[in-house]
Structure 1
Amino acid sequence: MAQVHSHSEVLLLNKFSFCNFPSKLLQRKRSCSFTRNDAVLPDHRRVQSSSPVALKVAVADDVKKSSNDTEDHIWDGIESDVLPHIQTLRRFPKVELAGKVALVRFDSTILLNQELDPRSRSVFNALFTIKYLLEFGAKVILASDWSNKINSNVLSAEYVADVFSSALKYQVVTAKSLSYKISLDVGAFKKTDILLLENLSEFKEEVANCSKFAQLLSSGVDIFVNDSFSLSHKILASTVGVAPFCYACVAGFHFEESLFQLRKMAKLDEKPYAAIIGGGNLCNKAAALHFLASRCDGLIFVGLMSFQIMHALGLPVPPELVEKGANDAASDLIQFARDKHITILYPKDFWCTKIHHPNQVEIFPSHGIPDGWEPVDIGPRSVEEITSTITKCKKVIWVGPVKFRFSSQYSYGASKLTGMLCKVSQGTCNITVIGSMACKAIAKVSSSIFGLNMVESGSAVWEFLKGRMLPGVSALDRAFPFDIDWSAAYHDPAQPLVVDIGSGNGLFLLGMARKRKDLNFLGLEVNGKLVTHCRDSLQLSGITNGYKLDDTVLT
């Protein structure tokens, strides 16, 4: 890779002159780009021990190699503004972590579960984010919101600190600065490497994204690491507000993995591609369903939304199961699918219980549910049809619960669906499971979940599918999405590199490239027409130490 001038001064090219500026004049508070310095997303199956010694070996082994499996790619038809390329902890220079204070916004729904499933990739990546920072010399401040009580355990900050101390094998100490509206005393790190802030759910300023509260959260912080993807669709002080007060804002390993799954889900690289759709509220999710219909070869409805589809098709549906105002949205979706020759499947039969006698269970066809009976699960004929469809697919996503009522004790459909997906995942089919209920169903039935891609945050994914920007993603630093082949770009890539930002038609860049053949020149320009003109001039001139990029490859 080409290197920036290695002397004590940095060469800066502008429109008027070619000047030498002391490097300290080029420093800024926020960093938007870092030298490529990859750490491999950890393979959670390799590390069985969470001890510091085992971690040190694992981290040292991981960061020595680069990974192509997690490379981000632009996909067909998706605007980069919706899911921009961002800086990640994996690519952040390790040498920049030593001695720094990192604020980690962790996901309490993952790390404060009653039982941390060691098979879960999310659990491993979330813990690895914290361990990775510690291993490379950073001090860590943990921040999150959590329910005050889970079962019989009262989740005080002290209790949560004990949970983390046990999981990380590091001492975690609580900090009470937020209650007193005072800046955190970084001197507290003399006794420990990890501080835990108070429960953010107790502060209304968190939800209001209060700037003063965000500044208080980030006091003394150098690097912000967002590892709470489940809240990326919300605007909170701890996920969005803190970003302007930190010189670097990056995604943790769990956050990065979730984004990678979204990108992979949206790509059209594997066909046939089917979406299994559970849950309800079709009106609110209409835009997302249209997006899925534009990507997939089939939509398979298994939740409450299936009744809206059936109703729009003119099939009899119990009135209490019809979503008010959803008929037009369902009809539009059906017509859109027909125009694109997309298959729509809905349940052909249901397990039903008698309303006043819940112990009485019968199977009825979907078009013939008697009065006084309530559907509680999809039936065997429906499962058979879904299985027949899925086994022909190369790519499947499952989003939303199968159950029609959250209190229902019946799980026939979910268990059969889970078993079938686990089976086809052993072959060539790429399976992605989205949403906490769907992921729990998989973990409950399957003894091995390594072959499945799982994203617990259904709400954030639905917002992404609607084409909306995720504030938690947008708040992080941008990253250059591609690697430049420096050997192909320059005759001698080892020469010092000069970057011209906003190079226009490139006349000045071309002139300097002719005069200084001992330097390589890189021009950045957002105007595509000017870039085309400059590239044509480069080819005609035969210059081998000039290269130009436009906004089609920059985010």
Structure 2
Amino acid sequence: MVRFDSAILLQKELDLKSQVTSAVSTIKYLFEAGAKIILLSDWNMKINSKLLVVESVADFLSSVLQLKVAPSRCISNCSLSKMEELEKADILLLENLSEFKGELANCSKFAEQLSSVVDIFVNDSFSNSHKILASTVGVPRFCSACVAGFHFEESLCQLKMAAQINKKPCIAIIGGGNLFDKASAVRYLASRCDGLVFVGMMAFQIMHALGLHVPLNLLEGGPLKEASNIVQLAQNRKIPILYPKDFWCMTNDFPKQMEIFPAYGILDGWIPVDPGPKALDEINSLLTGCKKIIWIGPVKFRLPSQDIYGASKLVSMLDRLTQSNCEITVIGNMACKAVMKESSFVSVYNMVENASVVWEFLKGRKLPGLMALDRAYPVEIDWNAAYSHPSQPLVVDIGSGNGLFLLAMAKRREDLNFLGLEINEKLVRRCLDCVHQYGIMNGYFIATNATSTFRSIVSSYPGDLVLVSIQCPNPDFNKPEHRWRMLQRSLVEAVADLLASDGKVFLQSDIEAVAVRMKEHFLKYGKGKLSVVHNEDCTETDRKGWLKENPFGVRSDWEQHVVDRGAPMYRLMLSKSTRPN
């Protein structure tokens, strides 16, 4: 299944620019590899007014791909699990996802329906990676493998390049408005760059924070504190903040009559539409000599004119800087269009058209669409540095939390190495501090999403994997009935594959339904390699088969809390057989 970006492949004037080529290459690569392909996406009239129904979109994609794409209405007909159409066509297009409430709601049942005949999920819609959608976040939970397409990968590389402040001096040119929502991203830029230039509505918030007079109709309600914090940060770092000192303005009564006003003297009834000549001269002076420029957001004020002179002039400045080896990243649809229209050196720009994803990334937020994918661990692990004896048998605790269980086990069993995989980076830092503080040579912790990285991390370990423990999983604190969902098929399969013969899996929870679901998942997706151990080291079981005591004699902090309040724990042990069941 390929989740493609309709804004790329369905645009009216399709050209063979890089992102279109990479998006097409994803589908063609899979087709040439012999895969049966299900395409899905959302689309609307803004993208292409001629493409509304699935049949017309399928015809359009057929012409773009030079491959036959067959339309299907199996979502509406609830017949996705049957998919007779897939037997007759190699590439199938499902209906417009925007027509289904389950898409925006990330409905689990809807996601399961979409993925009912899917083995491998390919996300090639990077522009939606900051959203939580059923087609980008929900579907991966039900697939054996989830990977990025070529366009997604290319866009991710562009995003990393945009956020990397690797050359000095670096100036950020910030356009558009809505400072309240983007304040944390602007603070990040203020903390890394050597100067800020505001060329949009945010400029008025900054001017107001600097104590300058700004007409009330040009101010957003609320972000004064955020603007003041940004100004204070820039002043502490002694970096310049530029805002337009003058504006081209117009009135609603005489829209073709343009006048220049100083920033502090805009008359009532006049609306700023473009930076004035003095403002552009100051920007040009600041940019001269820069080695990196990040331009994010449009040169846009209250009412943009038909042909914005400021954006054109800005592109001319940037063109000159490209000739002196200045690295320039342009972010946002309007900014990229200005470059493509006005620049003579388009190919040297790093352009990212979807600004929403970049703003979220600069805020320091995780991208849900990216986090849902399987991905190799980004840093090669030096096991010799992690452990004094890296070939010793390995015990992995998935969701290790504050690490108390693993640290206590490491002290008891110096003949084993212990690895904690935990998604909370702060907890991992604390655990590593404890490892160093107490001189533990057989314990190590990694901040990661084990669901997607377990296989790539553990497969590189030089010794045998003898035990995997999952204790009280709780990724959704508000919905106890969903706590088991961290345990996905791909993780179970990886554990079953990598576990040594006679290796063990220890599962426990204080919620019986969660423990039952974990047991069912391991027996269902363990490839017949795992079976329940009914008597582990003489530990008694109750009438339902749950272990009455912890077989290790070491409790996690949550287990201790549950036991102290007199509540039951539901535990079981599985073993990997040398012969499949």
Q: Same fold (TM over 0.5)?
A: yes
Contact 1:426 1:451 in 2 (8 A): no
For the structure 1 residues 356 and 399, does the alpha-carbon distance in structure 2 shift closer, same or farther, using more than 3 Å as the test? same
Contact 1:273 1:393 in 2 (8 A): yes
Choose between structure 1 and 2: higher helix proportion.
2
* Rounded Cα–Cα distance in structure 2 between residues aligned with 1:118 and 1:423: 26
Q: Give 1 or 2 for the bigger CA radius of gyration.
A: 2
| 1:149-298 matched pairs, under 5 angstroms | 153-298=50-195
| 1:96-107 matched pairs, under 5 angstroms | 103-107=1-5
Bigger RCO (CA 8 Å, 6+ sep) = 1
- Residue deviations 1:175-226 (CA, integer Å, cap 9, x gap): 1100112224444334332111100111111111111111111111011111
Report the 3-state secondary structure (helix = DSSP H, G, I; strand = E; otherwise coil) of the residue aligned with 2:95: coil
- Residue deviations 1:265-307 (CA, integer Å, cap 9, x gap): 3334221111111111111211121111111111110001111
| 1:16-415 matched pairs, under 5 angstroms | 103-119=1-17, 121-148=18-45, 153-405=50-302, 408-415=305-312
* Rounded Cα–Cα distance in structure 2 between residues aligned with 1:428 and 1:500: 51
- Residue deviations 1:209-256 (CA, integer Å, cap 9, x gap): 111111111111011111212212221111111111111112222222
Pair 1:419-2:316 in alignment: yes
After TM superposition, the score normalised by the length of structure 1 is 0.70
* Rounded Cα–Cα distance in structure 2 between residues aligned with 1:507 and 1:272: 50
For the structure 1 residues 242 and 553, does the alpha-carbon distance in structure 2 shift closer, same or farther, using more than 3 Å as the test? closer
* Rounded Cα–Cα distance in structure 2 between residues aligned with 1:420 and 1:499: 58
* Rounded Cα–Cα distance in structure 2 between residues aligned with 1:212 and 1:524: 34
For the structure 1 residues 308 and 426, does the alpha-carbon distance in structure 2 shift closer, same or farther, using more than 3 Å as the test? same
Q: Give the total of aligned pairs.
A: 432
* AA matched with 2:432: G
The Cα of 1:151 is off from its aligned counterpart by 6.3
* Rounded Cα–Cα distance in structure 1 between residues aligned with 2:110 and 2:440: 52
Paired residue for 1:451? 348
* Rounded Cα–Cα distance in structure 1 between residues aligned with 2:235 and 2:85: 63
* Rounded Cα–Cα distance in structure 1 between residues aligned with 2:291 and 2:343: 20
* Rounded Cα–Cα distance in structure 2 between residues aligned with 1:431 and 1:196: 38
* Rounded Cα–Cα distance in structure 1 between residues aligned with 2:384 and 2:225: 56
The more displaced of 414-423 and 229-238 is 414-423
* Rounded Cα–Cα distance in structure 1 between residues aligned with 2:48 and 2:37: 29
Q: What percentage of residue pairs aligned between the two structures are identical?
A: 57
Contact 1:106 1:228 in 2 (8 A): yes
* Rounded Cα–Cα distance in structure 2 between residues aligned with 1:105 and 1:405: 36
Contact 1:506 1:534 in 2 (8 A): no
Contact 1:480 1:554 in 2 (8 A): no
* AA matched with 2:14: L
RMSD: 3.1
* Rounded Cα–Cα distance in structure 1 between residues aligned with 2:49 and 2:154: 32
Report the 3-state secondary structure (helix = DSSP H, G, I; strand = E; otherwise coil) of the residue aligned with 2:155: helix
* AA matched with 2:182: K
* AA matched with 1:171: K
The Cα of 1:532 is off from its aligned counterpart by 5.1
The Cα of 1:537 is off from its aligned counterpart by 5.6
For the structure 1 residues 325 and 485, does the alpha-carbon distance in structure 2 shift closer, same or farther, using more than 3 Å as the test? closer
* AA matched with 1:128: S
Contact 1:308 1:323 in 2 (8 A): yes
Report the 3-state secondary structure (helix = DSSP H, G, I; strand = E; otherwise coil) of the residue aligned with 1:358: coil
Pair 1:501-2:396 in alignment: yes
For the structure 1 residues 319 and 368, does the alpha-carbon distance in structure 2 shift closer, same or farther, using more than 3 Å as the test? same
The Cα of 1:466 is off from its aligned counterpart by 2.0
Contact 1:173 1:196 in 2 (8 A): yes
The Cα of 1:316 is off from its aligned counterpart by 2.7
For the structure 1 residues 529 and 296, does the alpha-carbon distance in structure 2 shift closer, same or farther, using more than 3 Å as the test? closer
For the structure 1 residues 263 and 311, does the alpha-carbon distance in structure 2 shift closer, same or farther, using more than 3 Å as the test? same
Report the 3-state secondary structure (helix = DSSP H, G, I; strand = E; otherwise coil) of the residue aligned with 2:347: coil
For the structure 1 residues 382 and 178, does the alpha-carbon distance in structure 2 shift closer, same or farther, using more than 3 Å as the test? same
Structure 2 unaligned spans of 5+? 398-405, 422-430, 451-581
For the structure 1 residues 414 and 509, does the alpha-carbon distance in structure 2 shift closer, same or farther, using more than 3 Å as the test? farther
* Rounded Cα–Cα distance in structure 1 between residues aligned with 2:441 and 2:215: 70
* Rounded Cα–Cα distance in structure 1 between residues aligned with 2:113 and 2:73: 12
For the structure 1 residues 486 and 118, does the alpha-carbon distance in structure 2 shift closer, same or farther, using more than 3 Å as the test? farther
* AA matched with 2:171: A
After TM superposition, the score normalised by the length of structure 2 is 0.67
Contact 1:303 1:404 in 2 (8 A): yes
